[in-house]
Chains A and B, each alone.
Chain A
Amino acid sequence: MTKLVTEAELNNDAKILEDGGAIRSPWKMAWRKLKRHRLAMIGMWILIILHLFSIFADFFTPYGEVNTDRRRINHPPTKVHIVSPEGKLVRPFIYRYDRVDAMRNRYEPDKSTMYPIRLFVRGDKYKILGFETNVRLLGVDSPARLYLFGGDRYGRDIFSRIAYGGRRSLFIGLIGLVVSMSIGMIYGGIAGFFGGWIDNIMMRVAEVIMSIPSIYLLLALGAVLPASLPSDKRFMLITFILAFISWAGLARVIRGMVLSLAKTEFVAGAEAIGCSQPRIILRHILPNTLSYVIVNATLAIPGFILGEAGLSLLSLGIQHPLASWGNMLSEAMNLSGLSNYPWLLVPGFFIFVTVLSYSFFGDGIRDALDPRAQT
């Protein structure tokens, strides 16, 4: 099978070359290969959907992030019905749940009234692109409350909070990545290009940074940072700090690659025509390391996501009442909570899916960018 496809490709390429000499750029070829990698494409689409869901969380969710209901603690997921008690097919509706057993937080639906799920309802206010609005995609009439994935111990809707939490859990990875990648590449590039004692000093510094135990650093920071720092800024700061200590590993690999690239003919050529050193590093050498960097990136993002989950679990990350997948999951930490309210694990499922999607996507990218896999 593989062979047949490869042949077809070759023929195809040959034809195009004959046609007009239009050589496809490596990026386009990689994209074509990536499109053929089914798992990678599934991963990519899942990630796109999750990110959009989080960005437009205000619209897609029935309730605001901190909308609590103190009388509905650990509410189970509401069942969505489409068949009315008379047996007719109707638009989706739910029942209102009443707490029948306070000690065990047991709820029973009250089947006397049906509450249809409405579209484009007015709910909690939010701002989008500078406009203030309160139109939300889904909602039900009060006193019923829609808990698609159940509620937490403050009576907040887990479905809504997953969307809002994604804003932090998903994007924290991207931010951390941009910071650590840019530092790592430039630092590694300079060290590798100049070599000698500059390289020696720079690499020792990187090793010192690598040897800082991150958990202790974060524990110390957690105690030192002023509490008046808003939770999301605080987490941003911690992410930056995490990124600042995690670039060193990447810098080492880049430096190794640059060391060998610096001896190639095209670098000698660039020097010969009088290119400046920064230009050589930025325009000629670093782009050649990109395939490695991109693969590394897709694998590093799950690391940041899991890192956030871990930190929030230790209550160093995003703090209540703001949501992140990690701190939502920390509610499911004890056995009795877990056995009585299993829906508290839903954020864990989202972390799992996201990390898996990034792995598949990263896999696909690696295959697509690997120059040795081209023939």
Chain B
Amino acid sequence: MKKQFFIWTLLAVLLLSVSVASAVELLDPRLLDVANDLGDSVGRYGGTLTIYGGASGPKTFNPHRAAETSSTDVLGHVFEGLVELHRHTGEVLPKLAREYEISEDGTEVIFKLRRGVKWHDGVEFTADDVIFTFDVAYDVNVASNSRSGLLIDGQPMKYEKIDKYTVKFTLPRPHAPVMYSIGTDIIPVHLLGDSYKEGRYPDRWGLDTELSSIIGTGAWKISSYRVDQELVLVKNDDYYEFDNDGNRLPYMNKVVFRYYPNQETATLAYFNGEFDYYGIPAIHYPQFVDREPVSRWEIVPAGANPGTEFIVLNQNPDVVPEPQLSWFSDTKFRQAVAHAVDKETILDMAMNGMGYIQHSPINMRNEFFLKPDIKIYEYDLQLAHEKLEAAGYVLGRDGVRRDSNGNAIEFELVTNPGVPVRQIVGELFQEDMAELGITVHFRTIDFNVLVERLTSTFEWEGIIIGLTGTFDPNGASNTWLSSGNLHMWNPLQEKPHTEWEAEIDRVWVEAQRAMVREERQQWYYQFQDIVAEQAPLFYTVTSKMNVAVREHLRNASPDLVGGSVATAWNFIWIDR
């Protein structure tokens, strides 16, 4: 039965390739070392993967109009870029490009395209599509999500077609992170070129479009969509990737996204067997562990949550009054107070121990850039006390700590309601600071008010908040450059206010200029040392992520670089 199916599939594939591809011949197939590279196995054809797509489905099918993950999670499989990131290490690998070459001085990148790659409608993919895509991506009127990542110091790159299969990019200066943005989704000029010229590009490929006319180069084609319920992708039989044994990928026939309004429902649906692959919400984790022995799935650890949660004290000289300003901008004060964050208990209370203690601003999944031997601030109230005394913040007989001018140390700390971990951080911190003779007025305020204070009025003393993590450290430019809008403790500076901020700025730009990964690593190590020394943020904890994988799925290891959903479907296969 299986064998027969296999033969029929093979025949179908052959027939199709003969009938359509006679004109375009695939000269540069992409060979994936499925068996070794990812520790996975060569698969068998057939089957369907069903996954949880979140609370709602795509809002558009236009890749340069998509801004939310519900859309990009789907479109990322229909459209592809010149390069992609290795899903475990984050290295930049050629995708639609056969190879790329960076010039000595780091200002020129030449992409050789794969010859004979076809759009889903059979037309060949060429350098014209690449040029068109970057025209669109840089267009202010389109407002593509990729645009800001493709700008270097506010300037676009120059790009030109050398020949049908070669494109050259010229950078205003060396800028390594641009390689992470340059893999933006390539779109077909033969279908969208005219409407772009007429200025109608932003309206194309909305949800009302005939699904068969959404044409990409990816391994998957959109086949049906019931809004916010179910979306079906079918495989592209003409795809240009092959496994070790020369089998054309992908293995599976279909991928189905199912949408559930909330995580409670999704968890129950998973227990019901309604889908195969699921990022387990931390609060449901014990339920999954309890059921695992009798279930037909296994729990696979997926690393740390990429985000950070921290306490930050305001050092903005324009708005923070004295004496708070001199305490908060005193490095010794911050270093001492950093010892009063009881991370172990926070982990225990907020995550039942299912998480990691954080010391560095770098995404914990990106082990390459995460410095292992960074300076850490252990929870130690005695040490905090000694450091404060040494820095001139003396504990009086009445149990109140005062600075050298006799001001009692006292400040306000706010966070938004509804995030248990922040509440817990605040309450424990308040209690520990009281122990040190410092009064902290901790309370929660509405999230919008909090954001307004953080980003426009800047009137706050202490805040507990989190940032989402990007895989490449440079994604946090707006936090760490002193000119950044999320440089929370003193944002939008015209020139660095302190020496260490100037040093961070310098190291940060050096890291951008270093086109070699190992060199960048060294710069980011330096950056982490400065941050750890200066302690502008007191890091707390981040949760452990886990996925539940149905037992018949093979090669379904979680993706560390991407987001919530398993992305390497091209070589997932179904073992029944």
Contacts and interface: CB of A to CB of B under 8 A. Distances in A.
Interface of A: 66, 68, 70, 73, 102-105, 153-154, 219, 222-223, 226-229, 231, 314-315, 319-321, 334-336
Interface in B273-305: 283-286, 289
Contacts of B352: 102-105
Contact of B342 (A70, A103, A315): A70
B353 A102 contact: yes
B290 to A, nearest CB: 8
B348 A103 contact: no
Contacts of B424: 153
A321 B430 contact: yes
Contact of B446 (A68, A153, A219): A219
A315 B417 contact: yes
B247 interface: no
A255 B417 CA distance: 42
B349 interface: yes
B412 to A, nearest CB: 4
Contacts of B285: 103
Interface of B: 264, 283-286, 289, 342, 345, 348-349, 352-354, 410, 412-414, 417, 423-424, 427-428, 430-431, 441-446, 449
A268 to B, nearest CB: 56
Nearest to B416: A315
Given A73-B348, A227-B441, A68 B353 contact: no
List the 7 closest A-B pairs by CB distance, nearest first.
Answer: A227-B412, A315-B417, A227-B441, A70-B345, A315-B444, A102-B353, A223-B449
A342 to B, nearest CB: 16
Contacts of B413: 227
Contact of A321 (B348, B412, B431): B431
A223 B427 contact: no
Given A103-B353, A334-B283, A336-B284, A66 B431 contact: yes
B417 A314 contact: yes
Contacts of B442: 227, 319-320
A296 to B, nearest CB: 34
Nearest to A219: B446
Nearest to B344: A70
19 contacts: A70-B348, A70-B428, A102-B352, A103-B286, A105-B352, A219-B446, A223-B445, A223-B449, A226-B412, A227-B413, A228-B441, A229-B441, A315-B443, A321-B427, A321-B430, A321-B431, A335-B264, A336-B283, A336-B284
Given A66-B431, A335-B264, A222 B348 contact: no
A219 B283 CA distance: 29
Contacts of B286: 103-104
Given A227-B412, A228-B410, A335-B264, A154 B446 contact: no
A106 to B, nearest CB: 10
B289 A103 contact: yes
B427 A154 contact: yes
Contacts of B444: 315, 319
A228 B324 CA distance: 13
A105 B286 CA distance: 10
Contacts of B431: 66, 68, 321
A103 B354 contact: yes
B445 A222 contact: yes
A153 B283 contact: no
Contacts of A229: 441
A73 B445 contact: no
Given A103-B353, A105-B352, 10 more contacts: A66-B431, A104-B352, A227-B414, A227-B443, A228-B412, A228-B441, A314-B417, A320-B423, A320-B427, A336-B283
A302 to B, nearest CB: 25
Contacts of A102: 348, 352-353
Contacts of A231: 443
A291 B445 CA distance: 42
Contacts of A315: 417, 443-444
A153 B349 contact: yes
A229 B289 CA distance: 45
B375 to A, nearest CB: 25
A320 B285 CA distance: 28
A102 B355 CA distance: 12
Nearest to A231: B443
Contacts of B354: 103
B349 A154 contact: yes
A228 B289 CA distance: 44
Nearest to B445: A223
B349 A319 contact: no
B485 to A, nearest CB: 22
Contacts of B264: 335
Contacts of A321: 427, 430-431
A144 B90 CA distance: 51
B355 to A, nearest CB: 11
A337 B424 CA distance: 15
Contacts of A335: 264
A223 B285 CA distance: 36
Nearest to B426: A320
Contacts of A228: 410, 412, 441
Contact of A319 (B289, B348, B443, B449): B443
A335 B428 CA distance: 24
A103 B443 CA distance: 28
A153 B423 CA distance: 11
A70 B441 CA distance: 21
A315 B450 CA distance: 14
A334 B285 CA distance: 15
A219 to B, nearest CB: 7
Nearest to B423: A320
A314 B445 CA distance: 10
A108 B466 CA distance: 36
Nearest to A153: B349
Contact of A222 (B342, B345, B412, B446): B446
Nearest to B281: A336
A68 B413 CA distance: 20
B278 to A, nearest CB: 17
Nearest to B441: A227
A213 B353 CA distance: 43
A279 to B, nearest CB: 47
Interface centre among B284, B413, B443, B446 (most CB of A within 10 A): B443
